Homo-oligomer: A and B are copies of this chain.
Amino acid sequence: MKVYSNISQLLTLSGAHAKDGRKLVDSDLSLIENASIVVDDELIHWVGKTEDLPEDYKKIPTTNLSGHIVTPEIVDSHTHLVFGGNRSFEYGLRLKGATYEEIATAGGGILHTADKTAHLSEEELFKTACARIERINSYGVGTIEIKSGYGLNFEAEYKISKAINKLKEHFQPRIKIVRTYMAAHAVPKSFLSSQQFIDELVIPLMEKLQSEDLIDIVDIFHEKNYFTDEDTRKLFTKAQGLGLKVKMHADEMNDNNGAAIAAEFSALSADHLLQVSDAGIRALAASPTVATILPGTALFLGKPLAPARNMIDAGVKLAIASDYNPGSCHCDNLILLTSISAKNLGLTPVEIWAGITLNAAHALGLYEQGAIIAGHRPRLSVFKASTHEEIFYSWGRNLSVKI
């Protein structure tokens, strides 16, 4: 048992938790000044003002967190961080206005990453990813989702999923890794159709990985010229039949009715949503599905940001994630990406905090973290700062500390 006391500001988000992360107001931060918290390895036991700490807990050695802010643990619920290679040359082309096709012709795009990833062993993938995860954790992010998807063939996808599982085992419990299977990332040229790829590779490999307990969630790139409504419904039906959770890349390049399909399956999340329609927003609002926006990707590609304000106002539960990947968002710092986009997204502080803690945890199916409440998991982030606003005010400054 440990006691942390004199915390300058503790954001419990208990108000946000009670509202399931929707339509939040300032008071839903449930901020306690000069707070204490009592935890063991498994549970939060007590939360309140330091002056109200029960007698029994006063005997336990205390860590003084005066001058610090404690929040629910920051969760990055969308990354593609297991990859080989470096696509900085492609970024240069992009800045010069190259189209997707021109980049592909110059040897860029997902096939570049797939090729470089194919040349790394499971151990090499594991090691490069370890360094990336440690850096992400240094920003105060403690739960990280990782998608497979740069394999594009059975063996490579299997290797990547095993590497992700090894990362999960290696880092737990300090860093929680959530394993997402996303073989349905793009259709390799060796398949005639997305349908054939889903039938002959994506589903059989999913079944194998599920039987070996190597994956938690199944994702798909639902988009024109990638995977269809039918592919998505078939994959999700199979996945849910196996007891796996589902989420999807939805309405990024076009409005494809992706949000509504995610809602239809009560997917954990629909991600991207740059082009989501009003009907899609209404479907999300009526579902448990979290809308996960990835503002870094929009900025990296020079696109308008997702309609975050409209979604929140409609009653959608909104999360923010990094989309850290080598092609469309080479930024691993969720707090930075949130800071630089918050004002243009029209997000308030409580919406930001819920978006990277509570709602991001829900986007991964983690309902016992994301709020600092007795009985929940003691997954916390700690910052050296005088106010919680300072964490977003100081762009590019890492205020995270380890306790």
Contact = CB atoms under 8 A, between A and B. Distances in A.
A333 B95 contact: no
A330 interface: yes
A121 interface: no
Nearest to A339: B331
Interface residues of A, number: 41
A244 B341 CA distance: 39
Interface string A293-330: 00010011110000000000000000000000000001
Interface in A334-372: 336, 340-344, 346-349, 352
Given A26-B96, A88-B386, A349-B96, A343 B395 contact: no
Chain B CB count within 10 A is highest, among A95, A296, A341, A394, for: A95
Given A95-B348, A349-B95, A343 B302 contact: yes
Interface string A73-104: 00000000000001111011011110000000
Chain B CB count within 10 A is highest, among A299, A340, A396, for: A396
Interface of A: 26, 86-89, 91-92, 94-97, 296, 299-302, 330-333, 336, 340-344, 346-349, 352, 385-387, 389-390, 392-396
Given A299-B340, A331-B394, 20 more contacts: A86-B386, A88-B387, A89-B389, A91-B389, A92-B389, A94-B343, A95-B347, A95-B348, A97-B348, A299-B344, A300-B343, A300-B395, A301-B343, A302-B343, A302-B344, A330-B393, A331-B395, A332-B396, A336-B396, A396-B396
